[in-house]
Amino acid sequence: MATKAGFIGLGIMGLPMAANLVKNGVELAAFTRSGVPAELTQAGATASDSPAAVAEKADVIFLMVPDTPDVERVLFGENGVANSLRAGQIVVDMSSISPIATREFAAKVRERGADYLDAPVSGGEVGAKAASLTIMVGGAQATFDKVKPLFEMMGKNISLIGEVGAGQVCKVANQVIVAATIEAVGEALLLASKAGVDAEKVRTALMGGFASSRILEVHGERMTKRTFNPGFRIELHQKDLNLALATAQSLGVSLPNTATCQALFNACTAHGGKAWDHSGMVRALEILANHEIGQDVK
């Protein structure tokens, strides 16, 4: 198992993921545009001044950045990872980006003699901190086998889905389900509240039945307690649904409920909510109903 790793992108998800690698004895070089946090260097990581510098020190280079252009810049931009790649290294992109672009990036990386995995995650900040993320991987079996011990330091449910790009397709599918479930939970709790019933008691009762879900448990509670600090920001889920809708359009597939969820996220953003947790989608439904969950019914 490679013990020299690099980590690029230390945001809400990336920082605890990197910290879990360090905690498990991995020699880690790190970079993020805003500067490597002191808590990570104090734990044992080495701060680098560019993605290229990270690649010079690492056998496996993890990326966890917001969007497709960010991955492209980190890999192939000025002082990018590609400038320092050598044969035998592995680039692992754990961001959620375009499946089509992922295949293009992988081809360019392989031209330099390195290997590539796409490995987007699900589980949010809670899962990142607890090292319980679901990790959906695309790439060759042999490359996956080399990196799996490192994945196991960050996640629990780790699956090789198929060739490069398959992980990103799986993540897009995940985000479609998550968005639609948040919307359904929001509708249900809003209906209960508008009818004069305690939405939190309804949520608790439903947790024991067929409607139970992790989203009803966690995000339903966010809705009733009005705790919309991220978590997972609406603007990031919007990005993922854009990927889903663009991929669907290219394949001639209709995703009507996904389009509705995106419209509701757009409404939240119009009301200043792009940085709300994605459970805040319910606020768009509340505006339509002129009623807030938990509001006294006159």
Report the catalytic residues: 171
Asked if 113 and 91 touch (Cβ cutoff 8 Å), the reply is: no
Asked if 63 and 71 touch (Cβ cutoff 8 Å), the reply is: yes
Asked if 276 and 228 touch (Cβ cutoff 8 Å), the reply is: yes
Distance CA 195, CA 89 (A): 59
Asked if 72 and 101 touch (Cβ cutoff 8 Å), the reply is: yes
Asked if 260 and 154 touch (Cβ cutoff 8 Å), the reply is: no
Asked if 265 and 241 touch (Cβ cutoff 8 Å), the reply is: yes
For residue 31, the cross-strand partners are 8
Exposed, middle or buried, 63 (CB in 10 Å: 0-12/13-18/19+)?
buried
Q: Is 90 helix (H, G, I), strand (E, B) or coil?
A: strand
Residues 6 or more apart whose Cβ sits within 8 Å of residue 10: 18, 30, 32, 34, 36, 37, 40, 64
Q: Which of 69, 75, 165 is nearest to 112 (CA)?
A: 75
